Structure 1
Amino acid sequence: MGEIAERYRRRADAFERKVAAVQPDQWENQSPCERWTARDVVDHVVTMHAAMLSPVARKLEPAADPLTAFQEARAAIEDVLDDPVAALTEADTPAGTLTTEQHIDQVVSDDLVIHGWDLARATGQDETIDPVEVERLWTAAVAVPPELMAKFRTPGAFGEGIEVYGPEVPVPPEATLQDRLLGYLGRRP
C-alpha cells in the first residue's frame, strides 16, 4: 500500500468512527460551516468522493443513510487507490494536472480531517485532531500561494455553491496549532 492510500485509509477510519457515533437526533445539528448541518457535512464529503471518481469513469450510487453513503464512497476511493492504472490517471484540477491519487490526497483525504472536526463539533464528539495531521495540513495550507488562497476563499470560484474556505478567523497568537489551522481555514475554534 502506498503512502497516499495509507494516509487516506487512516483518515477515513477516523472520519467513519465520527459518522458512526452520530446519534439519530443529531443529524440536523448546526455544523461550524454556516449553511450545513451535520448531515450536510457528510453529504459534502460523499459528494467530493464522487467528484474524485469522475476522471476514472466511476460513480457512486445513492445510499439510504449517511454512514452507508460514506462507507460506499470510501470503498470506491480505496478501489481506485488500489488500482495502479486508475490511481495514476491524470486529470485537470483547480491545482493543475494531477494524478487521481494526488487529487484524492489533496482534496478528499484532507477534507476527512477538517470535516471530521466539523462533524465532531456539530455532534459533541472529541474535537482533537491528531497533531501529526495538524502539522501536515498547516504546512500545506500556508504553502498555498496567496492568489490561489484568495480563490479558495471566494464563494463560487470553483462552481456554483462551492465554497472551499471561509474568510480567515483571527485567533490569539498563543493559540494551539490546531486552532491556528482552523482559523486559517475559516473556522472558529
Structure 2
Amino acid sequence: MDNSSISSLLGAAAARAVPVVRAVREEQLGDPTPCAGYDVRELLDHLLDVVVNFTRLARKQPSSFGEEPDRLSTGDWRELFAEETGRLVAAWGEPGAEEGTTGGMHQPARFVGTLVLLDMTVHAWDVARATGQDFTPDPAGVEVLSGVIGDMAPAARDAGMFDEPKQVAPDASGFDTLLAATGRDPGWRPA
C-alpha cells in the first residue's frame, strides 16, 4: 500500500468532494444515483453520516452507524459537509490515528481509513454523475484504493455494500476499474 498518510489522502479526496456537494441543487435531491437504492438526498445523508462516524473512529471513539440521522433537513447541509470533512481530515492527522485498531470495527486503523477514503471518492463520483457534474478523483487515492479493493470487495459484497462487479475493458482506467469492482457501471448516466 502507498505510504501517504490517510489524512493527506482524505484531504485530497475532500478537496474534490466538497465542490461536488456544494453544486448540488435542491431540485436534484430526489434524482437517482449510480449507487443502487439511493437517491441524491439519501446518498448525501449517508456520506455525511460516514464522515461523522469515521471521524469518531479515527479518534478511537465509538461510532453510531445505523442511527439513520437526517442531516440534510436542517441548516446549510453543504457547509456542514465541508466542515465535517475538515474534521475528518484533521482527526486522521492526529498522532496515533493510523495505529492500532479502531472503534467497534476491530480492524487495523489504517485499513479503516481506507474505507472512508473509498466512500469519499466513490460517493463523490456517484453524486457528480447523478447531478451532471464532472469529477476527477485524486490519482494517489485511486492508487491506494486499487491496491486494497480486491481484498475488501468480497466481504463488502457479502455484507450487501457492493453489488456484483461489472465488466470493464482491459484498457479501462484505474478509477473505472475501481468503480466496477464496487458493482458500479462506470458509464452510468441519469436516464
| Fold agreement, TM-score > 0.5 | yes
**May I ask how many residue pairs the two structures share in their alignment?**
174
Following TM superposition, the consecutive aligned residue runs of length 4 or more in structure 1 with deviations greater than 3 angstroms are 57-63, 85-90, 130-133
Give how far 1:167 is off. 0.9
The Cα shift of 1:182 comes to 1.2
User: Corresponding residue for 2:101?
Assistant: 90
Structure 2: 5+ residue stretches without partners? 187-191
Number of the residue aligned with 1:124? 132
- 2:172 match: 175
1:96-115 matches, within 5 Å, as: 96-99=106-109, 102=110, 105-115=113-123
Q: Give yes or no for contact 1:92–1:98 (8 Å, CA) kept in 2.
A: no
Corresponding residue of 2:157: 153
- 8 Å CA contact 1:80–1:87 kept in 2: the answer is no
Match of 2:79 among 68, 74, 78: 68
1:65–1:40 distance in 2 versus 1, CA, 3 Å: farther
Q: Percent of aligned positions with the same letter in both sequences?
A: 26
Q: What is the root-mean-square deviation in Å for CA atoms of aligned residues?
A: 2.9
> Amino acid of the residue matched to residue 7 of structure 1?
L
Whose RCO is larger (CA < 8 A, sep 6+)?
A: 2
C-alpha separation in 2, matches of 1:57 and 1:12: 23
Gaps of 5+ in 1: 158-162
Give the superposition deviation at 1:3. 2.3
**Cα offset, 1:121, TM superposition:** 0.6
TM-score by length of 2: 0.75
- Do the aligned partners of 2:117 and 2:141 also contact (CA within 8 Å) in 1? no
Q: Which amino acid aligns with 1:186?
A: G
